[in-house]
Protein backbone atom coordinates (compact mmCIF):
# COMPACT_ATOMS: atom_id res chain seq x y z
CA UNK A 1 0.00 0.00 0.00
CA UNK A 2 2.78 2.44 0.96
CA UNK A 3 4.66 1.63 -2.26
CA UNK A 4 1.59 2.47 -4.33
CA UNK A 5 1.11 5.84 -2.60
CA UNK A 6 4.81 6.63 -3.01
CA UNK A 7 4.64 5.70 -6.70
CA UNK A 8 1.63 7.97 -7.26
CA UNK A 9 3.32 10.84 -5.39
CA UNK A 10 6.51 10.51 -7.49
CA UNK A 11 4.42 10.29 -10.67
CA UNK A 12 2.56 13.50 -9.76
CA UNK A 13 5.85 15.32 -9.10
CA UNK A 14 7.25 14.21 -12.47
CA UNK A 15 4.09 15.24 -14.33
CA UNK A 16 4.01 18.62 -12.57
CA UNK A 17 7.67 19.22 -13.44
CA UNK A 18 6.95 18.31 -17.07
CA UNK A 19 4.13 20.84 -17.28
CA UNK A 20 6.35 23.49 -15.72
CA UNK A 21 9.07 22.87 -18.31
CA UNK A 22 6.58 23.02 -21.19
CA UNK A 23 5.11 26.27 -19.85
CA UNK A 24 8.59 27.77 -19.50
CA UNK A 25 9.38 26.94 -23.13
CA UNK A 26 6.16 28.57 -24.31
CA UNK A 27 6.93 31.76 -22.39
CA UNK A 28 10.43 31.83 -23.88
CA UNK A 29 9.01 31.31 -27.39
CA UNK A 30 6.55 34.17 -26.93
CA UNK A 31 9.40 36.49 -25.93
CA UNK A 32 10.87 35.95 -29.41
CA UNK A 33 7.54 36.43 -31.13
CA UNK A 34 7.46 37.46 -34.76
CA UNK A 35 3.86 38.62 -34.72
CA UNK A 36 3.39 41.49 -37.15
CA UNK A 37 6.49 40.60 -39.21
CA UNK A 38 5.76 39.85 -42.87
CA UNK A 39 8.51 38.20 -44.93
CA UNK A 40 8.81 38.81 -48.67
CA UNK A 41 11.31 38.24 -51.47
CA UNK A 42 12.32 40.39 -54.40
CA UNK A 43 12.87 39.44 -58.04
CA UNK A 44 16.60 39.98 -57.54
CA UNK A 45 16.76 37.32 -54.80
CA UNK A 46 16.85 39.58 -51.77
CA UNK A 47 14.80 38.70 -48.70
CA UNK A 48 12.86 41.33 -46.83
CA UNK A 49 10.84 41.68 -43.67
CA UNK A 50 8.14 44.28 -43.08
CA UNK A 51 7.45 45.11 -39.44
CA UNK A 52 3.80 46.17 -39.28
CA UNK A 53 4.23 47.57 -35.77
CA UNK A 54 6.62 50.38 -36.71
CA UNK A 55 6.50 50.40 -40.54
CA UNK A 56 10.15 49.46 -41.01
CA UNK A 57 11.34 47.40 -43.95
CA UNK A 58 14.49 45.32 -43.49
CA UNK A 59 16.17 44.01 -46.65
CA UNK A 60 18.76 41.20 -46.48
CA UNK A 61 20.92 39.36 -48.97
CA UNK A 62 19.71 35.97 -50.20
CA UNK A 63 21.59 34.14 -47.43
CA UNK A 64 20.22 36.32 -44.59
CA UNK A 65 23.80 37.11 -43.55
CA UNK A 66 23.89 40.83 -44.27
CA UNK A 67 21.24 43.50 -43.74
CA UNK A 68 21.50 45.69 -46.82
CA UNK A 69 18.86 48.33 -46.22
CA UNK A 70 16.47 49.55 -43.53
CA UNK A 71 13.62 51.81 -44.67
CA UNK A 72 10.70 53.45 -42.92
CA UNK A 73 7.25 53.33 -44.50
CA UNK A 74 5.46 56.45 -43.29
CA UNK A 75 2.51 56.63 -45.66
CA UNK A 76 1.19 54.38 -48.41
CA UNK A 77 1.78 55.74 -51.88
CA UNK A 78 4.76 57.83 -50.77
CA UNK A 79 8.46 56.92 -51.04
CA UNK A 80 9.99 55.19 -48.05
CA UNK A 81 12.48 57.02 -45.87
CA UNK A 82 15.96 55.47 -45.90
CA UNK A 83 17.15 54.87 -42.36
CA UNK A 84 20.30 52.89 -43.05
CA UNK A 85 22.16 51.74 -46.20
CA UNK A 86 24.84 49.09 -45.88
CA UNK A 87 25.88 48.40 -49.47
Q: Select the highest-mean-pLDDT range: 2-6, 19-23, 32-36, 79-83.
A: 79-83
- pLDDT grade, residue 4 (50/70/90)? confident
Whether 26 shows a pLDDT value over 60: the answer reads yes
Identify which of 31, 76, 41 has the alpha carbon closest to the alpha carbon of residue 61. Answer: 41
pLDDT given at position 56: 95
Question: In whole angstroms, what is the distance from residue 55 CA to residue 35 CA?
Answer: 13
Whether 27 shows a pLDDT value over 80: the answer reads no
pTM for the predicted model, two decimal places: 0.61
Q: Please provide the DSSP assignment of 18-53 as one string.
A: HHHHHHHHHHHHHHT--TTEEEEE-TTS-EEEEETT
Amino acid sequence: MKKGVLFVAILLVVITAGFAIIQLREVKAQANSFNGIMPFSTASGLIGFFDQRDGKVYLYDGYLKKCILVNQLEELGKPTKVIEKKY
